[in-house]
Amino acid sequence: MTVVTKVESPTTNAQPELTDGFHLVIDALKLNGINTIYGVPGIPITDLGRMAQAEGMRVISFRHEQHAGYAAGIAGFLTKKPGICLTVSAPGFLNGLTALANATTNCFPMILMSGSSEREIVDLQQGDYEEMDQLAIAKPLCKAAFRILHAEDIGIGVARAIRAAVSGRPGGVYLDLPAKLLPQVMEAEAGGKSLVQVIDPAPAQIPSPSSVTRALDILKGAKRPLVIFGKGAAYAQADDEIRAFVEKSGLPFLQMSMAKGLLPDVHPQSAGAARSTVLKDSDVVLLVGARLNWLLSHGKGKSWGEPGSKKIIQVDIEPKEMDSNVEIAAPVVGDIGSCISALLDGLGENWPTPPAEWIEQISAKKEQNIAKMALRLKKNSVPMDFHGALGALRTIIKERPDAILVNEGANTLDLARGIIDMYQPRKRLDVGTWGVMGIGMGSAIAATIETGKPVLAVEGDSAFGFCGMEIETICRYNLPVCTVIFNNNGIYRGTDVNPSGGPDVAPTVFVKDARYDKMMEAFGGVGVNVTTPDELYRAVSAAMDSGKPTLVNAVIDAAAGTESGRIGNLNPQSVVGKK
E strand or H helix that includes residue 287: strand 284-288
Q: Given a cut of 90, is residue 569 above it in pLDDT?
A: no
pLDDT of 565 reads 74
In DSSP terms, which residues pair with 145 in a beta bridge? Answer: 174
pLDDT of 119 reads 83
Q: How confident is the model over 126-131, as a mean pLDDT?
A: 83
pLDDT of 320 reads 96
Q: Given a cut of 90, is residue 82 above it in pLDDT?
A: yes
CATH number (3.40.50.920, 3.40.50.720, 3.30.200.20, 3.40.50.1220) of 209-363 reads: 3.40.50.1220
pTM reported for the whole predicted model: 0.95
Q: What is the 3-state secondary structure (H, E, C) of 122-145?
A: HHCCCCCCCCCCHHHHHHHHCCEE
Where does 62-153 have alpha helices with state H? 65-79, 91-106, 119-123, 134-138
Q: How confident is the model over 103-115, as a mean pLDDT?
A: 98
Q: How confident is the model over 24-52, as a mean pLDDT?
A: 97
| Predicted confidence (pLDDT) per residue in 259-295, tens digit | 999 999 999 999 999 999 999 999 999 999 999 999 9
Domain ranges of the chain: 5-194, 209-363, 378-569
| Predicted confidence (pLDDT) per residue in 195-235, tens digit | 999 999 999 999 999 999 999 999 999 999 999 999 999 99
pLDDT of 289 reads 97
Q: Residue 579: which pLDDT band, with cuts at 50, 70 and 90?
A: very low
pLDDT of 13 reads 66
Contact 58, 448 (CB under 8 A): no
Superfamily of segment(s) 5-194: Thiamin diphosphate (ThDP)-binding fold, Pyr/PP domains (3.40.50.970)
CA–CA dist 316, 333 (Å, integer): 5
pLDDT of 110 reads 98
CA distance to 49, 307, 549, 569, per residue, from 540 (Å): 34, 46, 11, 34
Q: Given a cut of 80, is residue 2 above it in pLDDT?
A: no
pLDDT of 563 reads 83
| Predicted confidence (pLDDT) per residue in 441-469, tens digit | 999 999 999 999 999 999 999 999 999 99
pLDDT of 5 reads 57
Domain range 378-569, CATH architecture: 3-Layer(aba) Sandwich (3.40)
CA–CA dist 561, 215 (Å, integer): 42
Q: Residue 127: which pLDDT band, with cuts at 50, 70 and 90?
A: confident
> Given this chain, do its domains 209-363 and 378-569 carry the same CATH topology?
yes
| Predicted confidence (pLDDT) per residue in 389-401, tens digit | 999 999 999 999 9
Q: How confident is the model over 404-408, as a mean pLDDT?
A: 98
